[in-house]
Amino acid sequence: MGLEFRKLDPAREIREQRALFRECFPENNGTPVETEDHYFWKFHSKDPAVSSPEFGAYSGNELIGYYAAIPFTYRMDGKPLKAAMVCDVMTGEKARGKGVFTKLGIYSTGEFAKQGFDFSTGFPIRPEVIPGHLKAGWEDCFPLPMYGRFIRFDAFLKTRKKSFLRPIANAMLFFFDQVIRFSSPGIPGGFSVECHSSACLQEIRGLDAFFKKWENECPVTLEKNVAYLDWRLRAPGKSYRIVVLRHKDDIAGYAVCRPVVKEGVPCLGVLDVILLRSYYRYSALLFNEIFRLGKQEKAELALIMINNRWYREYRMRRAGFLKTPFTFRFIMKRFNRDLPAGILKNSENWHLTWIDSDDL
């Protein structure tokens, strides 16, 4: 097979790119994710001054592979770092098993380096893609577990043909909820909880100041601000809720959520959650509002991807979150060799959730 690698021209090749996406990710067919609107939002609306790097593998004039990234900014001890968050990597069925995935990865990440990125990031959940990434020079850094907290068991047991267990399971969950409710204090004086639509993002007072405080409490952080959220939460066909925990007038913690269906179970996906260090012990106030929102949305399971440190710090086990069988991997390819590998490969130094990726 004669292969050619080159930069993708979205204006001319959008139909071919979307056709390849539908072939490689059929689970998204019929959803907003497969549309051109979603593609242009993801890759061409974040920052007009910084375009997303996109590359294709071609056999003749046929697009058989695609490799792209979204430019993100991270901060390590206050210093800005340019990251390429890789997503929608794909090879068509006819091109699989021929080394196209690895060769395209080597070519594309080489182009990332030429464009001045400090490193690239990825969040694969399918184990079968890891070897191809490793052959292309990526490093498999650490796991990112997915944690879940059941709100009801109806759909979960139905999809597993165990509906006969529903009355017992829901009764046990109700008892568990009552134990948590009676063991948790009420909202202490000076605290309040708010729930906003992402459409009202600009009306939330103090978000940028909150993110600045948080940056000083974690060695490596995604640069979050109202401008970033305004882009991230405008995905076509999706709507988000922002939960804010305040102490007096200052934000102590926040979370971003949206309804999503996973394996036939209606869930509340927790896209992001942050608490400032002084308020870890009040995490129940934030999680209780998330669960209330889940019930309102008729979700049966709250789900979050987060690294182990923050599962511990935010006392998520006490809130009922348990580790699921599903685990993402955080992978990285460093281009700036002056960056300390020991810091970047240590899970304790990062705060990673779905908001660091394109998922949800």
CATH of the domain at 107: 3.40.630.30
From 107, 122, 137, the end of a domain falls on 122
Instruction: Identify whether 344 is part of a domain.
Output: no
Two tokens, residue 63? 């697009």
Instruction: Identify whether 50 is part of a domain.
Output: yes
Q: Which domain holds residue 157?
A: 146-327+351-355
As a whole number of angstroms, the distance between CA 228 and CA 9 comes to: 25
Residues 175 and 313 grouped into a single domain: yes
Report the candidate in 244, 259, 240, 321 with the shortest Cα–Cα distance to residue 289.
Answer: 244
Q: Work out whether strand 220-222 and strand 62-76 pair parallel, antiparallel, or are unpaired.
A: antiparallel
The reported pLDDT for the residue numbered 62 is: 96
Instruction: Identify whether 320 is part of a domain.
Output: yes
Instruction: Identify whether 338 is part of a domain.
Output: no
Residues 164 and 216 grouped into a single domain: yes
Residues 252 and 192 grouped into a single domain: yes
As a whole number of angstroms, the distance between CA 132 and CA 124 comes to: 11
Residues 199 and 322 grouped into a single domain: yes
Whole-angstrom CA distances from 13 to 17, 64, 194 are: 6, 12, 44
The reported pLDDT for the residue numbered 173 is: 86
Instruction: Identify whether 346 is part of a domain.
Output: no
The reported pLDDT for the residue numbered 211 is: 98
Residues 46 and 181 grouped into a single domain: no
As a whole number of angstroms, the distance between CA 191 and CA 193 comes to: 7
Residues 210 and 307 grouped into a single domain: yes
Residues 48 and 111 grouped into a single domain: yes
Instruction: Identify whether 341 is part of a domain.
Output: no
Residues 108 and 167 grouped into a single domain: no
The reported pLDDT for the residue numbered 2 is: 81
Residues 177 and 276 grouped into a single domain: yes
The reported pLDDT for the residue numbered 186 is: 67
Residues 107 and 158 grouped into a single domain: no
If one counts the domains in the chain, the total is 2
As a whole number of angstroms, the distance between CA 103 and CA 280 comes to: 45
Residues 178 and 113 grouped into a single domain: no
Task: Write out pLDDT tens, residues 126-169.
Answer: 999 999 999 999 999 999 999 999 999 999 999 999 999 999 98
Residues 198 and 312 grouped into a single domain: yes
Instruction: Identify whether 227 is part of a domain.
Output: yes
Instruction: Identify whether 336 is part of a domain.
Output: no
Ranges of the chain whose pLDDT falls below 70: 1, 183-186
The reported pLDDT for the residue numbered 91 is: 96
The reported pLDDT for the residue numbered 184 is: 65
As a whole number of angstroms, the distance between CA 192 and CA 286 comes to: 10
